[in-house]
A and B are shown apart, each in its own frame.
Chain A
């Protein structure tokens, strides 16, 4: 088999570096004096960004002939997940649930 890769796994090391930085950043933000909702928005954004790093740099999501199908599938799943989570919180914290 021909060697298609470079010997040094630069992409993976960079991905790992980014993941560490974002995890540490999340921990730093956690200890700051911002209000909880501001902190939650920041660390939430960091989590989503870190998930993207994993998907693209470690999982090679857009690689191969089905790269585009993989991407569409995952984006669709994430959309469904967001609807389930945000929708549940919305429905169960407003309307009747909040005023019985």
Chain B
């Protein structure tokens, strides 16, 4: 059954290997998708059209909390995969639930942040800067939201079926997705928030 004795369960079938490779190629496309949004933001960043600039609305403390929430969730997600590879279903589900809770915490912070901006008169229609900002951040936030829904369904499946080659592959793929979202956030943190606050 297993094609490679040293490789973990999620690579155990040809189908699994291909699905994981396919997902990596999808992530390559996602990198390019986000790069266009970053490019748009970088170009339009100073066109505030009389509205607030980044330094007027960004709050360093909140950004740091969001960053640490997502960073920690990426770590707990890697621990979940570690548990999966030790064939520990309970540990896997526990870490996935913690990952999801941290993701929800991040989302709560981000939605609050957006509501706060809108109340300050910084909406998507205010300026080119804010259009680019909300598009970039919104796309990332939508990915996180999708990830949480996906994770919920997967946890249900894991509870029902346990760790099989199919569920192991699915779990590994969502872990790739989750880590990728953290990678995108690192660049948002650096080139949107820190740069904007300078």
Complex: chain A residue closest to B23, CB-CB? A70
Q: Which residues of B contact A9 (CB under 8 A)?
A: 78-79, 82
Interface residues of A: mostly helix, strand, loop or mixed?
A: helix
Say whether B182 contacts A54, CB under 8 Å: yes
Q: Which residues of A contact B8 (CB under 8 A)?
A: 4
Complex: chain A residue closest to B30, CB-CB? A77
- Option from A3, A12, A40, A80 in Cβ contact (under 8 Å) with B79: A12
Q: How distant is the Cα of A88 from the Cα of B80 in the complex, in angstroms?
A: 39
Say whether B11 contacts A27, CB under 8 Å: no
Q: How distant is the Cα of A55 from the Cα of B175 in the complex, in angstroms?
A: 11
Say whether A50 contacts B186, CB under 8 Å: yes
Knowing A9-B82, A58-B78, A64-B7, the reply to whether A84 touches B187 (Cβ < 8 A) is: no
Q: Which residues of B come within 8 Å of A, CB atoms?
A: 4, 6-9, 11, 17, 20-21, 24-25, 27-29, 31-32, 34-36, 38-40, 42-43, 60, 64, 67-68, 71-72, 74-75, 77-79, 82, 85-87, 175-176, 179-180, 182-183, 186-187, 189-191, 194-195, 197-198
Known: A15-B78, A85-B38; 20 extra A-B contacts, CB below 8 A, are: A1-B9, A3-B86, A12-B79, A16-B78, A19-B74, A20-B68, A23-B68, A23-B71, A39-B198, A54-B179, A54-B183, A58-B179, A59-B176, A66-B24, A82-B35, A85-B35, A88-B40, A88-B42, A89-B39, A93-B43
